[in-house]
Structure 1
């Protein structure tokens, strides 16, 4: 038995096509500002990719590059200026931030209506209550991937490995909202292997290469691998791998996301979808 490979690139393109189609009928293009503090090479690749995709779907896109030693006051001033600009509908502050900056304080400064990464405490609270708000992009992408193979999650047992504010907690909330029974594992969880073996849906988001082995997986389970870690191969080349031992898991699971090409493309597509939603909501409020 070989699992179905869930093609994140294909599904992401469907989302992007719908966003681009919607933009054509708008009175003005949605505006997205991406803010990056620091010189981390991977972060530069990510933000450039996001800005490029935004322009491809017809958005107005801006990239704000700040030095690694930017002060918190300076970064907050940039965010405040973006909050006040009518042509900017979405603000994304690329994480992780340099260590001297307080991430929670920075995220709290973003206007919740422009928080297209869904990380403001207000949006997190709305999600926990099952209310309408902007949903973090990676968890939203995970749910789209899951529902592409299992449209109805009612009564399913879902296990989420990881409890971060960015992925673990929000994806667990989204699964619960779909009437799944959710178990959340983390670094202090005992018998994680045993817990995972009972999962109909298994989401791993910890960034530990090869953590989830094939014998952790229930036959025919849906496996969503959020982890992305760069590791050096014996030939000296770098390779991106996930949390799941793919070659083992693919022989057991019913469906599985690859790394790369699974969750990553969906994260960017959902950022575009969130920006479109934010623009529509702001336009409706302005017209009221």
Structure 2
């Protein structure tokens, strides 16, 4: 029988820790989120972030723009947020409608306020082996892997990704925990994924391909971290892992929903708090 890694319970613990710290601050951290367009999933994700921020006492601003907004207008809004001393953290909700350039907009955020951890300056520090801020989603994945309690040092981790930008900090995190990392980037040959998957103690998938990971790909005892989420025609959310294939298998699995998502939102709060403390010369936040 598979073992579910409960992201919701872990996220509650993280939020409680953040709340305890925020309550001791004279001024709460402030997070500003830029949301462009009418994408239902993006609006849902931002509403979940807003709700979580309210729970822990972090001030939250939502800056809404229509689909046809010019890039210049969004850049101007980012400039204003950069200059406001009371704003500690800024997030541009992705994906963005075309023709907006996500890299250009994220690059415009002041590095000391970019909360996702994918600012070009932070990515360059990763590449150079310099100190960097671990993106919240990556730290969340690390915590979820730890929840399995498995001894993974020296074993293989397989990454199935659609973005090398996402894979970079994930690879560094896993190597830092003693794993050997193999990456496959879309488009992925299924035979190769099956072969490497069977040899891997950890599989992290972030493809956005529902039910791509099937039972034949996974060895018993493996840890499956499902970052992929896709909204199906019936409105349900599906992950990359075909969960039904693992009901009677000895594997560790993050459910979708209820796995990576809640922890990623919780880590956004941790990172917002950390940026606020750093800007105010206070101690770093708990994780």
- With normalisation by structure 1, the TM-score equals 0.92
Q: Is the 8 A contact 2:163 2:185 kept in 1?
A: no
Instruction: Indicate the residue corresponding to 1:267 in structure 2.
Output: 264
Q: Is the 8 A contact 2:152 2:201 kept in 1?
A: no
Instruction: Indicate the residue corresponding to 1:216 in structure 2.
Output: 217
For the pair 1:45 / 2:44, whether they are aligned, the reply is yes
Q: How many residues align?
A: 280
Q: How far apart are the structure 2 equivalents of 1:28 and 1:219? A: 49
Gaps of 5+ in 1: none
Gaps of 5+ in 2: 283-287
Correspondence 1:1-288 to 2 at 5 A: 2-129=1-128, 131-150=130-149, 153-165=152-164, 167-190=166-189, 191-232=192-233, 237-284=234-281
Pairwise CA RMSD: 1.7
Q: Is the 8 A contact 1:82 1:88 kept in 2?
A: yes
Q: How far apart are the structure 1 equivalents of 2:166 and 2:149? A: 20
Deviation of residue 152 (structure 1)?
A: 5.5
- Greater shift, 118-127 or 195-204, is seen at 118-127
Q: Is the 8 A contact 1:83 1:110 kept in 2?
A: yes
Q: Helix, strand or coil for the counterpart of 1:112?
A: coil
- Greater shift, 160-169 or 140-149, is seen at 160-169
- With normalisation by structure 2, the TM-score equals 0.92
Deviation of residue 186 (structure 1)?
A: 1.4
